[in-house]
Structure 1
Amino acid sequence: MLTERQILILKSIIFLYTNYGTPIGSKTLMNEAGLSYSSATIRNEMVHLEVLGFIEKTHSSSGRIPSIKGYRFYVDHLIHPIEIQKKDLITIKKSFSNEFHHLDEIVIQSVELLSQLTSYTAISLGPELKDSRLTGFRLVPLTENKVMVILVTDKGHVENQMFSLPKTIQPKDLEKMVTIFNERLVGHTLIEVFKKLETEIPALINKYAKSAVGISSALDTFILQAGRDQIHVGGKMNMLDYSNGMNVEKFKLIYSLMEDQHDLAHLLTPPQSGIEVKIGQELDDERFEGFSLITASYNVIGYGTGMIALLGPTSMPYSKMISLVDVFRNELSKKVIDYYHTMED
């Protein structure tokens, strides 16, 4: 158990390192943190903190930096939410006061603004759409061998994707396939759609539109994806600013992960409480050594739960960032609920 003096020194080291980004020594603690202890006393306590694993020495300086254990103790026991700046709150509320025509627009706006306000990378996972119904299925010819498929749900969720048609497909079979999809899938919940795509639809396509089997399989995957949670990322390039010393190969690996919804979905595990902080190795991915992830869930009553997250350096100012994420999740929840209510009117 740490003494009050050790706690104060640890808290001061983290505060100063967050602000300066350089190892902190005893003189800096005396001059900048206003600690009323002698330099020798501070040095002795820093040695104890290092032995206990809360701070560590870098090879290039006599100062100390917080360890993962130190940050964990700080986040769990020492920080308190702070009131965000008035100008930031005005910016957030003004942003969410805009008119949105699709749910994705709200989610995208949230991550773009959060990444701008923090200069970190923001990630958002839209609320679940399990009870949504498929209300529209259109196939729009683009060229001789390409079509655009458009799906719409009753919650205003829109998906579109371009497909290349197999050379063997017959126009009449393509028309039959569209008819089957409209007759058997439109009007049903996405859960029902998923089941039908796995059971009766393949048999119907094979029976009445054999040459469309190829494009039908691709469409099956597309429709399944339309009902899953949509992940959006803002500020991916910000990683270059807050990841000093990151080599090009590591940046490429992390950047590619940001493009993969499957990998990101594993990274964004639902927080056990409203807001959760994972630091460094707690992310269970060696690519994120030196990173921290703040994740918050937001409830949309009647429609599911979404998540918003902030990825930044372990040296981030946690109190400020947690407060910002908390405001965002509350504003995002209210805006999504308002959006759904508008859609129902």
Structure 2
Amino acid sequence: MLTDRQLSILKAIIQNYTDVGQPIGSKKLQEQLPIHVSSATIRNEMAALERQGFIMKQHSSSGRIPSLEGYRYYVDNLLEPDKLDCNVVSRIRKSLNNEFAKVDDIVALSAQLLSQMTNYVAISLKPCSNDVVVEGFRLVPLGNQQVMVLLVTSDGSVENQIFSIPENIHGDQLEAVIRLINEEVVGLPLSEVSEHLIKAIPQVSSYLRDSNDFIETFGNILDKAVREHMYVSGKHNVLDFVQDDDLEKVKSLYSLIDRPTDLRKLVKSNGEDVAVKINDDHDSALNYSLVSATYDDGNHGHGLIAILGPTNMHYSQVIGMLDTFRDELSKRLINYYRNFNE
């Protein structure tokens, strides 16, 4: 159990390292503490905090920096989210108040705004589409034995894939197949469409001699529609936190960001409104942390917004930003669906 004085010292060390990025010694710390204590007392308390694993020495410097355990304790016990300036809140609202053709545009914009406002990497996930239903498949001829198959859903989303038509298949046959499939799936939730597509295979085969590729095209479109859409913005901001000996870590982080499956696992929520993963929670070699917040769109479920940044990020600012953003994003999506359904 840390004493009040130890808590003040730990908090001051973390705040200093966040602002300056350098170790701090007892004399400098003495100037920053809200309480008056001698430099010797501070050194003793720092030694106690070091023994408990909350701070550590960096190289040969006499100063101290927070350890991962220290950051975790700070986030769990000492952190107080900052309240955003009214002008920042106004900027968020104004940006999200634009006209959008579909939900994906709103979710993608949220990542762009978060990245611009924090100078970190921002990630946004579209809410699960459990209540979205299929409005129908469409067929668009492209010429040169190719057609584009479109899937239109009730939330305004459109997925597509190009299909090459074998020479022995005619357009009227494909139109008949589209009508047949639409009879089976229109009005169904996305989660139920796959099962009905499988049931339709024998009937599709009566129109198309080799229907496997065509059915696979529908399956691929459906998979894209059901899968959570992830948007990443500000990847280049990683370079702002690079030190001369961190190139391999940066390569690892870039590689992680470029692997959607792994990144989706990293940001996966355990149900918390706001969650903080210090870097040893996912990959201790990266020296980065993830702060995420869930939001409710009032219609289809929960989405997620997150910030990926250095371990010594401004946690109070970031959490304050995410708190405001999740509220404004929820309001905007609720309003979008209300207008869309009218």
Specify if TM > 0.5.
yes
Give the secondary-structure state (helix, strand or coil) at the position aligned to 2:210: helix
Deviation (angstroms), 1:148: 2.9
- For structure 1, which segment, 60-69 or 99-108, has the greater mean C-alpha deviation from structure 2 after superposition? 60-69
Where do 1:151-230 residues align within 5 Å? Answer: 151-161=151-161, 163=162, 165=164, 170-172=169-171, 173-197=173-197, 199-230=198-229
Alpha carbons of structure 1 residues 175 and 7: separation in structure 2 relative to 1, 3 Å = same
Q: Distance in 2 between matches of 1:151 and 1:262?
A: 23
1:302 to 299, 304, 325: 299
- 2:139 is matched with which residue? 139
- For structure 1, which segment, 167-176 or 329-338, has the greater mean C-alpha deviation from structure 2 after superposition? 167-176
Determine what percentage of the aligned residue pairs are the same residue.
44
Q: Does structure 1 residue 45 correspond to structure 2 residue 45?
A: yes
Give the secondary-structure state (helix, strand or coil) at the position aligned to 1:293: strand
Give the secondary-structure state (helix, strand or coil) at the position aligned to 1:142: strand
Q: Distance in 1 between matches of 2:202 and 2:243?
A: 56
- The TM-score with structure 1 as length reference comes to 0.91
Deviation (angstroms), 1:156: 1.3
Alpha carbons of structure 1 residues 60 and 298: separation in structure 2 relative to 1, 3 Å = same
Q: Distance in 2 between matches of 1:222 and 1:272?
A: 29
Deviation (angstroms), 1:250: 4.2
| Unaligned stretches of 5+ residues in structure 2 | none
Give the secondary-structure state (helix, strand or coil) at the position aligned to 1:155: coil
Q: Distance in 2 between matches of 1:260 and 1:215?
A: 28
**1:203-224 residue CA offsets vs partner (Å, 9 max, x unmatched):** 3333431334213213312212
**1:107-126 residue CA offsets vs partner (Å, 9 max, x unmatched):** 01111001100001111111
Count of aligned pairs between the two proteins: 341
- The TM-score with structure 2 as length reference comes to 0.92
- 2:77 is matched with which residue? 77
Q: Which amino acid aligns with 2:327?
A: N
Q: Distance in 2 between matches of 1:168 and 1:262?
A: 37
- 1:341 is matched with which residue? 338
- 1:58 is matched with which residue? 58
Q: Distance in 1 between matches of 2:71 and 2:89?
A: 27
Q: Distance in 1 between matches of 2:306 and 2:61?
A: 33
Q: Distance in 2 between matches of 1:107 and 1:30?
A: 45
- For structure 1, which segment, 181-190 or 230-239, has the greater mean C-alpha deviation from structure 2 after superposition? 181-190
Q: Which amino acid aligns with 1:291?
A: Y
- For structure 1, which segment, 255-264 or 77-86, has the greater mean C-alpha deviation from structure 2 after superposition? 255-264
**1:299-335 residue CA offsets vs partner (Å, 9 max, x unmatched):** 2233211111111111011111101000000000000
Q: Distance in 2 between matches of 1:114 and 1:286?
A: 25
Q: Distance in 2 between matches of 1:110 and 1:256?
A: 23
**1:166-215 residue CA offsets vs partner (Å, 9 max, x unmatched):** 65662355444333332322332212212213x31333333431334213
The 8 Å contact of residues 122 and 233 in structure 1, kept in 2 or not, is answered as yes
| CA root-mean-square deviation | 2.2
Q: Distance in 2 between matches of 1:40 and 1:250?
A: 37
